[in-house]
Structure 1
Amino acid sequence: MTLALMSLVPLLSLALIAGALVALRGATGAARALLIAGFALFVVAWAPLLVGMALDPDGSVIGNALGLGLLAWGGSALALAVLLAGLVTRWARG
């Protein structure tokens, strides 16, 4: 189970890089909106975990950051789906 979840990380990274390249190449309309929304979801999903780790590195206040990690993982999966929809929309329109 853990390896299956960890295998999403390279796929997500590749999708984000591909999305950035496609977005910079002049995507318009719905494709551009989906790509921007995917990037925004990714940043918003990881922000609480990164801020929590930066403000409380020893874990005395946050404790076990399992909820923040699940939020980051779920948000990343959602961002991946939105980014893939944006890529498909971009490629379908030529």
Structure 2
Amino acid sequence: MPQNLGIKLTAELERGDFQLVYASTKGVDDRVWAQPVFCLMRANLQESLDAFLRKGDFKIDRWFQEIKSSTVVFDDEQVFANVNTLEELKSLEAISA
């Protein structure tokens, strides 16, 4: 993860008086990809999230569209690399070395 992740998300949350701010990355094709696992939200969103989940929708970035949210775009998409296997971890460690 980027070392400045918390700082950037906090600055954006306060800049626009948002309820939630999440990280995104820009790919080599300049397309922006949401990284919804990496987010900062206000504590008063519990009821909103509960209502969203009761609807049966578990795609969290759809909930982001229902509230006042924003994103911070990080240029290096590797900082949020998905690691689900030992092989993926070894590959990422090789890139990082």
**TM class by smaller structure:** under 0.3
* Structure with the bigger percentage of strand: 2
Q: More relative contact order in 1 or in 2 (CA 8 Å, sep 6+)?
A: 1
